[in-house]
């Protein structure tokens, strides 16, 4: 008998396994249907000996010191500030759009102050900013929207930006200075040694047993457990009774080239041409030195593993129905990007998992009836 069964060994499941094992002293069986831990953050050395991410580029960034401090128990860090170029009209230009982007694209020499008015002249006022088109067009106008956002978004999501919630393109800011960093968070790092190494340390506890290539469906009646944490797709858990929740997928093409580097930055986006959305070159992220280089091309698709919840009002309606059911489940917690249908970054999932642990501690006595020390319960 395990105290806990955890489905999914990504950030959500692994962080909760660690907290429960170390802070509550309870036993955990964590299963994942894939042959590895770390969920979508999984990285490994490819045939050429280059550290690559199997499910596309994962860059850690956060403003939450508590999340950074927590993960720092399991890894040291390599400072890394992410920069991305977009291929537009045959040029490689900084995205997020900044002063350099506009000046180079249009052959101008605008100051930051000029650029504020330049954007204002082109911006299309909107009474309400609801969609991913509204966000961009109301800030910087239609021309830049068409060049940088519309094509990329249609490829990535299979729908027009006007059909997506504003939160999607709002992830990418616009700047009037020359700051060309993709993120502006206080903490921007890559785990030294990689994500998988970090997960090995998170899960290295005698109270935690890991079973890979094992799905919830095949194990649920085979093992006994008191409580369940589920981090897979929520619609699947409930046998799709309110219909399928759309999750967008990607096909990845991994290649190794016999040359030291292929592109100037870790990621180049392709908003206008190509079937793929972006190419990632890992050595920029990891700092690894190698005579060859490995890259991943991302081709969006509907079919395949679920990677992205699709933020649209009609999908949120369906999710809300599943969520209502999930709140009625005794001794089951739904956590993570797939189970709470939220377009969360890694740090947000870690934050959600830590918050869930606090709720568990408030509501669930430890297995043998002991009380938790107050400082742990209040953590």
Structure tokens at 140: 């910087």
- Helix then strand then coil, in percent of the chain rounded to 5, is 35, 20, 45
| Cα atoms in the 13 Å half-sphere on the side-chain side of 158 | 15
Query: Taking CB under 6 A as the rule, does residue 99 contact ligand FAD?
Result: no
Structure tokens at 374: 């107050």
Q: 156 or 326: whose CB is closer to ligand UDP?
A: 156
Residue 39 binds: one of ligand UDP, ligand FAD, none (C-beta under 5 to 8 A by kind):
ligand FAD
The answer to whether 237 and 270 are in contact (CB under 8 A) is no
> Smallest distance from the beta carbon of 32 to ligand FAD, in angstroms?
5
- Nearest-5° angle of CA 113, CA 117, CA 119? 110
Q: 149 or 195: whose CB is closer to ligand UDP?
A: 149
Residue 131 binds: one of ligand UDP, ligand FAD, none (C-beta under 5 to 8 A by kind):
none
Stretch that binds ligand UDP, among 19-27, 111-119, 145-153, 323-331 (CB under 6 A): 145-153
Stretch that binds ligand FAD, among 17-25, 150-158, 270-278, 330-338 (CB under 6 A): 330-338
- Among positions 343-362, residues that touch ligand FAD (CB under 6 A) are 344-347, 349
Distance of CA 171 to the CA centre of its chain: 12
- Phi/psi zone of residue 63: left (φ > 0), alpha (ψ -120 to 50 degrees), beta? alpha
- Residue from 2, 4, 5, 8 touching ligand FAD (CB under 6 A): that is 8
Query: Taking CB under 6 A as the rule, does residue 198 contact ligand FAD?
Result: no
Task: Give the C-alpha separation, 193 to 78, whole Å.
Answer: 9
User: What would the 3-class secondary structure string for 224-288 be?
Assistant: CEEEEEECCCHHHHCCCCCCCCCEEEEEEEEEEECCCCCCCCCEEECCCCCCCCEEEEHHHHHCC
- Residue from 40, 98, 231, 269 touching ligand UDP (CB under 6 A): that is 269
- Residue from 171, 320, 359, 370 touching ligand UDP (CB under 6 A): that is 171
Query: Taking CB under 6 A as the rule, does residue 17 contact ligand FAD?
Result: no
- Residue from 37, 86, 137, 350 touching ligand UDP (CB under 6 A): that is 86
CA dihedral in degrees (319, 322, 324, 325; nearest 10)? -170
Residue 149 binds: one of ligand FAD, ligand UDP, none (C-beta under 5 to 8 A by kind):
ligand UDP
Question: Which positions lie near ligand UDP, rule CB under 6 A?
Answer: 86, 95, 148-149, 152-153, 156, 168-169, 171-172, 269, 271
Tell me which residues touch ligand FAD (CB under 6 A): 7-13, 31-34, 39-41, 55-59, 215-216, 231-232, 250, 307, 336-338, 344-347, 349
């Amino acid at each position: 008998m395990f105290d806990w069964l955890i489905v999914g060994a990504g950030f959500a499941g692994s962080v909760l396994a660690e907290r429960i094992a170390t802070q509550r002293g309870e036993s955990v069986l964590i299963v994942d249907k894939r042959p590895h831990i770390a969920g979508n953050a999984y990285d490994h050395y490819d045939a050429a000996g280059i550290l690559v991410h199997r499910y596309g580029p994962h860059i850690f960034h956060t403003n939450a010191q508590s999340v950074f401090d927590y993960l720092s128990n399991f890894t040291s860090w390599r400072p890394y500030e992410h920069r991305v170029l977009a291929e537009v009209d045959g040029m490689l230009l900084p995205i997020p759009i900044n002063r350099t982007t506009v000046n180079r694209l249009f052959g101008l020499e605008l100051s930051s102050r000029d650029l504020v008015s330049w954007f204002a002249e082109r911006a299309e006022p909107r009474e309400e900013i609801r969609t991913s088109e509204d966000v961009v067009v109301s800030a910087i106008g239609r021309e830049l929207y068409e060049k940088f956002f519309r094509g990329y978004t249609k490829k990535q999501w299979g729908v027009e930006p006007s059909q997506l919630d504003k939160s999607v393109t709002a992830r990418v800011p616009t700047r009037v200075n020359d700051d060309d960093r993709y993120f502006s968070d206080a903490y921007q790092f890559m785990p030294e040694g990689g994500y998988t190494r970090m997960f090995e340390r998170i899960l290295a506890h005698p109270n935690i047993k890991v079973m890979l290539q094992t799905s919830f469906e095949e194990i649920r009646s085979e093992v006994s457990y008191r409580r369940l944490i589920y981090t897979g797709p929520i619609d699947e858990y409930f046998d799709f009774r309110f219909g399928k929740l759309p999750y967008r997928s990607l096909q990845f093409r991994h290649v190794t080239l016999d040359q030291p580097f292929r592109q100037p930055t870790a990621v180049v986006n392709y908003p206008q041409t190509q079937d793929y959305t972006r190419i990632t070159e890992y050595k920029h992220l990891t700092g690894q030195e190698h005579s060859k280089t490995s890259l991943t091309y991302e081709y969006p698709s509907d079919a395949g593993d679920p990677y992205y919840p699709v933020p649209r009002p009609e999908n949120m309606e369906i999710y809300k129905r599943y969520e209502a059911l999930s709140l009625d489940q005794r001794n089951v917690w739904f956590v993570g990007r797939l189970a709470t249908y939220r377009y969360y970054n890694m740090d947000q999932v870690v934050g959600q998992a830590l918050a869930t642990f606090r709720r568990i501690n408030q509501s669930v006595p430890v297995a043998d009836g002991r009380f938790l020390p107050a400082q742990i319960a209040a953590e």
